[in-house]
């Protein structure tokens, strides 16, 4: 019997605590997602991805110990980006373009951690502004907007309805769910609302998340 990962144990605890119908999917086919969930009356498939401590983390921890100071953090967005890309293929096979699909990220003790900015960068690309210079005039700077290295576009990974972050706040497990505005099958936040399940979408007024 395959031993459960830390993320699987905690995710199942979370679903049990919030009375979310959560059924693990057989591991016989490794290309399928991990779970089928029910939000209200709506079936949702979910792929759970765990970020573990790696050699880069260990090196940074050692540098910080030797120097007795903080060191540069690794790029967590790059790790999340790779997880999203892999999960997208798995979710597409299961959802068949008909069922809403989630990627849930759990940080199992990496040095960088994962936050909303990492998720936004992984989903929609590096943040950019464009500066235009004209002689004798003040620089013209565009608003912050999505740049390169994006994993979710109008034509790519549209199966993914949202990317969530599972985390522990004090003693309680919570999920922040970041909705994909390119999703073929979006998730309606009203399907399931709870103080420990927060929904976010990109604001129409500025390039950042807003709670919905």
Question: Residue 24 CB: number of other CB atoms within 10 A?
Answer: 14
Find the radius of gyration of the CA atoms of the chain.
Answer: 19
Instruction: Report if residue 28 sits inside a domain.
Output: yes
Output phi, psi for 200, to 5 deg: -135, 145
How many CA atoms lie within 13 Å of 54's alpha carbon, on the beta-carbon side?
12
Instruction: Report if residue 27 sits inside a domain.
Output: yes
Condensed to tens digits (0 to 9), the pLDDT of residues 78-132 reads: 889 899 988 988 898 888 889 999 999 999 988 778 999 999 999 988 766 566 6
For the entire predicted model, the pTM comes to: 0.81
Condensed to tens digits (0 to 9), the pLDDT of residues 144-159 reads: 556 666 668 888 889 9
Total number of residues shown for the chain: 212
For 67, the 3-state DSSP assignment is: helix
Instruction: Report if residue 181 sits inside a domain.
Output: yes
Residues 159/173, Cβ–Cβ less than 8 Å: no
Instruction: Report if residue 180 sits inside a domain.
Output: yes
Instruction: Report if residue 188 sits inside a domain.
Output: yes
Beta-ladder partners of 173: 168
pLDDT at 164 over 90: yes
Output phi, psi for 14, to 5 deg: -60, -50
Number of domains into which the chain is organized: 1
b/e sequence 63-83, b meaning 16+ C-beta within 10 Å: eeeeeeeeeeebebbebbbeb
Using 50, 70 and 90 to split pLDDT, how confident is the model at 75?
A: low
The alpha carbon dihedral of 106, 110, 111, 112 has a sign of negative
Question: Residue 125 CB: number of other CB atoms within 10 A?
Answer: 19
Condensed to tens digits (0 to 9), the pLDDT of residues 4-58 reads: 999 999 999 999 999 999 999 876 655 667 999 999 889 999 999 999 986 655 5
If you ran DSSP here, which 8-state letter would residue 211 be given? E
Please give the Cα distance from 140 to 130 (Å, whole number).
8
Strand ranges in the chain using DSSP code E only, listed in sequence order = 21-24, 35-39, 42-52, 101-108, 127-128, 131-132, 140-141, 145-146, 160-169, 172-179, 197-202, 209-211
Helices (H) and strands (E) in the chain, counts: 4, 12
**Among candidate residues 83, 49, 92, 121, the one with its CA nearest the CA of residue 185:** 92
Instruction: Report if residue 1 sits inside a domain.
Output: no
Q: What is the pLDDT of residue 161?
A: 97
Instruction: Report if residue 127 sits inside a domain.
Output: yes
Strands 160-169 and 101-108: parallel
Parent domain of 95: 6-211
């Amino acid at each position: 019997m395959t031993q459960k990962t830390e993320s699987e144990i905690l995710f199942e605890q979370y679903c049990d605590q919030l009375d979310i119908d959560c059924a693990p999917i057989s591991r016989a086919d490794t290309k399928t997602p991990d779970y089928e969930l029910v939000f209200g009356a709506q079936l949702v498939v979910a792929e759970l991805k765990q970020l573990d401590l790696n050699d880069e983390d260990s090196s940074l921890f050692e540098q910080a110990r030797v120097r007795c100071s903080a060191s540069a953090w690794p790029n967590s967005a790059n790790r999340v980006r790779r997880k999203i890309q892999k999960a997208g293929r798995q979710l597409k096979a299961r959802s068949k373009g008909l069922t809403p699909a989630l990627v849930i990220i759990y940080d199992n003790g990496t040095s960088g951690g994962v936050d909303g900015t990492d998720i936004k960068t992984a989903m929609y690309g590096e943040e950019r502004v464009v500066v235009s210079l004209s002689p004798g005039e003040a620089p013209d700077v565009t608003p912050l907007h999505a740049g390169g290295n994006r994993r979710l576009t109008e034509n790519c990974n549209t199966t993914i309805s949202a990317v969530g972050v599972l985390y522990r706040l004090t003693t309680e497990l919570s999920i922040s769910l970041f909705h994909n505005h390119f999703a073929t099958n979006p998730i309606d936040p009203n399907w399931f609302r709870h103080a420990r399940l927060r929904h976010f979408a990109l604001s129409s007024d500025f390039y950042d998340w807003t709670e919905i």
